[in-house]
Amino acid sequence: AQRVTQPEKLLSVFKGAPVELKCNYSYSGSPELFWYVQYSRQRLQLLLRHISRESIKGFTADLNKGETSFHLKKPFAQEEDSAMYYCALRMYSGGGADGLTFGKGTHLIIQP
Amino acid sequence: DAGITQSPRHKVTETGTPVTLRCHQTENHRYMYWYRQDPGHGLRLIHYSYGVKDTDKGEVSDGYSVSRSKTEDFLLTLESATSSQTSVYFCAISRQGRYEQYFGPGTRLTVT
């Protein structure tokens, strides 16, 4: 069974400090992973897709198949980064409509 | 926001009553999903649809049914609401050939 683990429920860092949000996955095939961000009581927004290797809002994430990880990083945290962050793994259904398995989320707080 | 709206946005209902939540999209996407979000659980897939009248169960489908009679609408029904179904419900779409999902604004349901 596939699983996504985000070991930190809460992460608090100071403004300007580096941020790393951890995500580990369990999946026997070739994974497809995403990071989503949810600002207070808003809809989830796609932040990153591992296949595109892009940087959004200064965040990057690298897939490490050996360690089965997809950690989210930012070199200098900003106060507006405070939010819930979810790591998600594509569920292959074979029919095209592939749901996502989500981790439980990490609440990131950036202190001034 | 990928043209996704949800209604109602908030609802309070009593145990044992039926409840229907609506997800509406304006961009003719084939694939649609319903998730519930609960503290400590992240998001979990309830049901999904890969076309009109084509639906399937997700990981937490007990107590829920869905219908999709038109491309633009995906309905989630709680046949007899229970307090354990108090949650925030999110609808999502994915585009053909792409696996990232885009989410609606959510419906906050309270079952008393």
Residues B22, B46 contacting (CB under 8 angstroms): no
- Give the pairing of strands B87-94 and A106-111: unpaired
> For the segment B93-107, what is each residue's pLDDT rounded down to a tens digit?
998 878 889 999 999
At A95, the pLDDT band (50, 70, 90 cuts) reads low
Region A15-40: mean pLDDT is 94
Q: Report which of residues B96 and A86 the model is more confident about.
A: A86
Environment class of A62 (CB within 10 Å of its CB; exposed 0-12, middle 13-18, buried 19+): exposed
Question: Closest chain A residue to B104 measured between Cα atoms?
Answer: A43
| CA gap B35, A49 in Å, rounded | 20
Q: Which two tokens stand for residue A47?
A: 């932040």
Chain B residues touching A97 at Cβ < 8 A? 30-33, 48-50, 56, 94
Q: pLDDT over 90 for what percent of chain A? A: 73
Q: DSSP states of B69-93 as a string?
A: EETTEEEEEESS--GGG-EEEEEEE
Name the pLDDT band for A30 (thresholds 50, 70, 90). Answer: confident
Chain B residues whose beta carbon lies within 8 Å of the beta carbon of residue A99: 33, 45, 48, 58
